[in-house]
Amino acid sequence: MNENGLFKELTDSMVELDKDLVVSNTQKAIDSDLPSLEILEKGLLPGLNIIGEKFENEEMFLPELMKSATIFQEAMEKLRPVIKEKGEVSQKKGTVVIGTVKGDLHYIGKNIVKLLMETRGFEVFDLGVDVDPFSFVKKADEVGADIIALSALLTTTLVGQRDVIEALDNAGKREKYKIMVGGGAVTPEWAEEIKADAYSETAYDAIEKAGKFVS
Ligand code: B12
């Protein structure tokens, strides 16, 4: 089977929520020496996007959404070591504090950004999900971060990104850190409105921009 066929099979098995097939298709793609980031971006993530659309159209419901996240994590167990192994092992480039903002429990995208940043030599402190603004500021101060990276997937939690920027402003620390924002709900307009230093639609773009901030 050609690589597009393999990616499609992977996407389809994700949408069908067939855990065993997703895991075996991921392994098949790895064994076929397909680039690990493409396995992620052309195989697994399109599947999650379709599931998101089906959820929106009420063709799938919360239990299926939850199942998709679990299956995705299983596939990542296979893919993560390959991404790490093939990533550049470079000198430490900079320090990042990352997290998903208050009220938001989505972490898949954040974890991908974290993983790619680590493979590019960043030291990443991950605060997890549902993180309040002051925890971001506290951790960034503690570790001397260069960048604070804020993920938000819900339109209702976007404000959490602005809250972090305001908390920094109020503490007179805004200039100390570059603020990167991303996650499904974020738009370039929103990033501009809250005066974030960078917005990225993909994890790959995020590491390119992060690299520029510390070079
Ligand atoms: C899986 C999933 C869940 C899982 C999350 C599991 C987990 N632990 O993460 C569960 C089941 C828990 C869940 C719950 C809910 N979800 Co949900 N979920 C999704 C789904 C299907 C996939 C999300 C995902 O991981 N995408 C894949 C990742 C890789 O994409 P990503 O996060 O956008 O990340 C990429 C970029 O954005 C970027 N990036 C991400 N973060 C960052 C950060 C920075 C700094 C940068 C630079 C870049 C960056 O890099 C990543 C890789 O390229 C989406 C649909 C979709 N298409 O996104 C809905 C979706 C996000 N969920 C939605 C909703 C409504 C909910 C619930 C409210 C449902 C409910 N009624 O309870 C709850 C909310 C819970 C909460 N308080 O957070 C809606 C949001 C609508 C909106 N705009 O507000 C979506 C869009 C589905 C839909 N179409 O309706 N969800």
Instruction: Express each pLDDT in 84-93 by its tens digit.
Output: 887 645 567 8
> Which of 40, 106, 180, 199 has most ligand 1 atoms within 8 Å of its beta carbon, as the pocket-test mutant?
106
- Answer whether residue 162 shows pLDDT above 90: yes
- Answer whether residue 69 shows pLDDT above 90: no
> Which of 15, 54, 65 has most ligand 1 atoms within 8 Å of its beta carbon, as the pocket-test mutant?
65
Q: Are 53 and 65 in contact (CB under 8 A)?
A: no
Q: Which of 106, 126, 125, 128 is nearest to 183 (CA)?
A: 106
**202 C-beta closer than 6 A to ligand 1:** yes
d(CA 196, CA 178): 8
Protein residue with its CA nearest to atom 27 in ligand 1: 109
Ligand 1 atom closest to the Cα of residue 98 is: 45
Tell me what pLDDT residue 90 has. 55
d(CA 45, CA 194): 28
d(CA 4, CA 11): 10
pTM for the model stands at: 0.89
d(CA 49, CA 62): 15
**175 C-beta closer than 6 A to ligand 1:** no
Ligand 1 atom closest to the Cα of residue 103 is: 77
46, amino acid identity: P
Q: What SS3 state is found at 65? A: helix
What is the whole-number distance in angstroms between the Cα of residue 25 and the centre of ligand 1? 23
Q: Are 154 and 185 in contact (CB under 8 A)?
A: yes
Per-residue pLDDT tens digits for 97-139: 999 999 999 999 999 999 889 878 899 999 999 999 999 999 9
Q: Which of 146, 126, 123, 124 is nearest to 135 (CA)?
A: 126
- Answer whether residue 67 shows pLDDT above 90: yes
Tell me what pLDDT residue 12 has. 97
- Answer whether residue 32 shows pLDDT above 80: yes
Ligand 1 atom closest to the Cα of residue 185 is: 83
